[in-house]
Structure 1
Amino acid sequence: MIPLRFIPLPPSSPLLRASSGSRSGAPARSGMRPLRGNREKGTIMTDIITVALSKLDADPMNVRKTYSAEGIEALAANIRADGYRLLQNLVVRKGDKKGRYFVVAGGRRLAALRLLAEAGEIAQDYPVECKEREVEIATEISLAENVMREEMHPVDQYEAFDALAKQGKEIADIAARFGTTETIVRKRLALARVSPILLQQFRDEDMSFAQLSAFTVSDDHERQVTIWNSLASWNRDPHSIRRALTEEMIPATDKRVQFIGGLEAYEEAGGQVQRELFDERNAGYAMDVALVERLVAEKLETAAATVRAEGWKWVECSATAPAGYHAMKRHYPEALPLSEEDQAALDAAQAEYDELAELIESGMADDEAEAKLSDVEKRIDTLNARLEAYSAEALEQAGTFVFLDYYGRLAIERGFVKPGEVEAAGDENEDGEGSPSASGAAKPKAPSISHSAALIEDLTAHKTAALRIELANNPGVALVAVVHAMLLHVAYPYSSEQSALQLSLTHECLDPSMKHAESCKGLSAFNDLAENYGHHLPGSPADLFDWLLDQPQDMVLSLLAFGAAHSVNAVEKKFTDRKKGIEQANQLGRALKVNMPDWFETTGDSYFKHVNRTTIELSVAEARGSEAELSVRAAAKKSEAVAIADRVVAGSGWIPGPVRIAPAEAEQEPERESIAEDEQFPQAAE
């Protein structure tokens, strides 16, 4: 910071010519009129005067009443960077008291100067150059300044930022200098990747900003222009542009990249990554397809080596499910009795597991309980593995496939007999049927609280996870939900109503929609439930129907609820044709009496750091009251506001709108949610 009491004016300055008796370098006195325009009748006053900061007041006639704290801080930084000078004079009129002036236009500049004065960077009587106007036209001037302006064109911003970057200025310095964010600066500088021909197309309004942004995924200007010209006008959406540009790249969301440990593992192996700044998740693309394939092959081979040690006739690896393997004849493991010693060990391990789990749930466990529980689980799995085994004949005749399943997980499918080779003995599976294992399985809205489409998808994914586990644990409601979904199709074929259950049976993977899937309580509980049922179902799908006939009705209903729960989908993506199905999910949640705070905790990481300052303040006010909101508003930076909100809201049970189970229509309050624009252009610095 630069301490500054006032800016001295040279003796020759026109601002001092009419100031008899003024000392050289001293600020002119408030109200002095060194320069005057023509004051004849019919001519508007255009005097430039110098007024002490302490003599300036906000004008009640100023049409703009509200300024964001962030905007004022950004403008103060801009003024500081320019030597505490204003690029544009304030417009004032005489105040109610002698020597004071109302600021007709420039309220944000006045607030920024006061902020600098409070910080001790400039004096309280800092001289401010102003234009004086008559009170009769004060409202017109204020309205004209706030309405009659146009935001800077994105390409103009890019060229200006690029020029500063080439002078050696850091992105953080550029952002601070012009009162914007580093993200905005990076996004504008990313336009350097786009062909000048396409930039001109955007200037000429022949393409949208979303289309232009899609081209930043590539640096090849010639290819960009070729693709733009080759795509039909109706097919020039951003998704089609990206897809055409990335045909020879592998996205981070590809199951092969996920399997090897993500782009981080790929980069550690020496791979080059192309990232797109306009992608909110900033996932990126792997440029070296051969390297990705090699890393996948190495990881599959590592798994295959363990399987080969089991003694199979053959073991084959592939990055995708083998074609036609479902129809191959297959051996299944045979049930084996445990020895008395192993059975005793299994009973003891299960008892130890139950005891540890109870201590953990009650909060009475020590720090080592989780590690002990994990060790017990491994012992139980090892002993359970001895309950079944493949026969020597199966090992001699059959083999195993090691591959990636639909979700990019490692799948090991054993016991398959290739056509033309020795058939499985007896009548086992003579119909040739096979089955993969379970592992393959427009109302007006107030512009207050706002959520991006990506955040709404994240939050409603948590909502869906909670609905799934609650439905899985409530067979009665699950039965009604399944019958409701079926009757919508068979009894009302022309109805536009939809069910929250995607019965086909369709199962939506929730992990890609969540920013932190590993922390989702609903998803974790549902995966645990799936693992539990997996231990009870027969190993061979051919035995499943007879097995179900032998089960009590309570077990069958529980499995019905478990199967139906897979189909629940309340994820609200940016583009969806399931609006009514998503709405029906709230009806389902009310029937299940779902208490979402049991499944979702509002924290800085899960929510506050993904929304703007206004939404943070409104959320805290809703959760804890207006006094708590003031503590957030007083934070100088958003990161501080996030930390305060995290601390204040903790334990309140408050959750954001998209993750709530909405009340019935008669109980609903006026809707306050609105989806924010994907990107707001920063306002001019002054």
Structure 2
Amino acid sequence: MAKADQKIRMSPSRDIPFNKLVLSQSNVRRTKAGISIEDLANDIARRKLLQSLNVRPMMDADGRETGMFEVPAGGRRYRALERLVQQKRLAKTAPIPCIVSEARGEIAAEDDSLAENVHRVALHPLDQFRAFQSLFKQGQSEEGIAANFFVPASVVKQRLRLANVSPKLLDVYADDGMSLEQLTAFSVTEDHARQEQVWESVSRSRNDEPYQIRRLLTEKAVKASDKRARFVGVTAYEAAGGNVLRDLFVEDDGGWLEDVALLERLVAEKLRTEAEAVAAEGWKWVEVAASFPYGHDHGLRQLEGGLADLSAEQQARLDALQAEYAELQEKYEGVRELPDDVDARFCELEETLEAFENRPQIFNPAEIVHAGVFISIEATGGLRIERGYVRGEDETAFAAMTSGSDSGARTAAPDAGSCGGTASPVQRTVITVAGQANPDDEEDDASRPLPDRLVVELTAYRTLALRDALGSHPHTAMTALLHKLCVDTFHRTSGPGCLEASVRQVQLPVQTPELKDSAPAKSITARHAAWKADVPTSDAALWDWLVALDDAGRLSLLAHCVSLGVNALSERADRHGGTGITVSGLHHRLDQADRLAQTTGLDMVQAGWRPTVENYLGRVTKRRILDAVREVKGENAAQLIEHLKKAEMAKEAERLLESTGWLPEPLRPVELDVRSNATAAAELLPEFLSDDEEEASDPDRGEQPHDVMPE
């Protein structure tokens, strides 16, 4: 007869006074983990014991029970109860729920302790999110939930945000279809339809990294660090009913402003208010835009104004700031990457010094009525006001005013209470609001303009390359020289006589160490050495040698000599009547340099310039590095390096940009306006000197006689 299977019998449970319990040495837990014993004690005090202790009777030497029980499983609960007894919050004899195992059973005490800890399954994060959400809906506050479960309130906020993600995506996460990091990226918005749309897109493309998810969810929003958001203020935007998307899991720089139309309306309203205040100064026109393109003031006359005088206190502060800036420059000269605090201080000093330099000017009221103002937003969110520009259509009236008034009237001091003076209200100021830029075009608000020294270094290389190019184009060199001579002949009424036409070889005060070893420098040096070996040292012999030189040789020599006078440096303009180059003078220089570059077919890539860590990438912001890589290699390449530190990012960008032909803006070819160039040339050159290389190189035309200039 077969023996029947024995039924499983559970260990009995009973209440045992706490003072009869002793912590067993068989407990396998030795390392601290989880919440502290103090927190566990407080939780037991609040909600009572949720899980019984596993105990075994203690035996004496004769094998009889002593009435005491050891605790091999539940040691942390025992310690928490012990803490409550020590704090006199629990009686020593308080009954404790226990499950009593056999003292000499087949299962060892260590086995019980190990099983209790190993077989325990941690709560799935999604279950925790939903549990927190349920408690919140029952009326518990975020702070209350955090206190009850011994976590920071920020953790509760994060869990509640995750619980509000689209239910469809939560199901995907529950089935291990996405990672927790991906789920956190979706929590940046509460729009379930948009979340599901983005997940469908990234899961198909396999480009489902968390940063990509965040980028797609916020691509139509405006970052709080954007200059438009800073100008209006996030508080004002929210007060107007705008919603701000915030990321609770990564640094978001203040979040994203979701209602772009509202933001643009607030920007336009605030700009118009500022424009009306400026218009009260009496200007003929005020043009307003969030930003103007580079060179928006080219070709416009700028009024000469005087800076408001500084008080003794302001002058003392200015001197102290300049001294501190000079001291920091000297201390950190040659340092490739500044410490964060020093870099921040440099920015503060530059902004403050710039505010002193750009303080409101005093203008002549008689000139104000013919001029206008540009109002835009600085990259930092501040207001930028550029006063005193005369448009071409107002030049006639302006010239008549200046020629018809005596010097006393032109220099009359305006009302000191206004930066623009008080003009006679004979006209109504025309305010033009140009509107916002396309919100889909990303503003480079995180990057500052290129450093002045870097721009000078870049244009120094371009100057050298342009000299080399001009030295190889005799026809263009002849045109340039004749242009110079014609300007001197037809547009100057005084000055040194007896010709004195000369080319002053321009030195390059700011340059990189490798400039002397560049391809243009070597080419110029070789050409100069070749001519120097042929040119006689005696003045009389030089004259005879030049007379005997054939036309091709004379043109080549002329091109070489003229080329050494090329100056295409972009320097800081002197706006205050000093000894430096003026704004209009700098524009004139760069316009002519662009014309020479276009005519000679200058290509900076062929001239040997390559972006390196030393000459560009290590000198600009991380945003500019990423923009350069993105422009040539695409978004994916930029994303691969955006997590790197600046030094490593610059090195990797140098590798990625190698042999791509990428150039920074100061070195890129400029497409000149043919019509405006022709007009400018007609004003400066007589008709017979119009530069038409196509006609000059046509062999079928033969030699054309020069026109006779009228007397």
Q: Give the TM-score of the pair, scaled to structure 1.
A: 0.47
The structure having more radius of gyration, on CA atoms, is: 2
Q: Give the TM-score of the pair, scaled to structure 2.
A: 0.45
Q: Which has the higher contact order (CA 8 A, sep 6+)?
A: 1
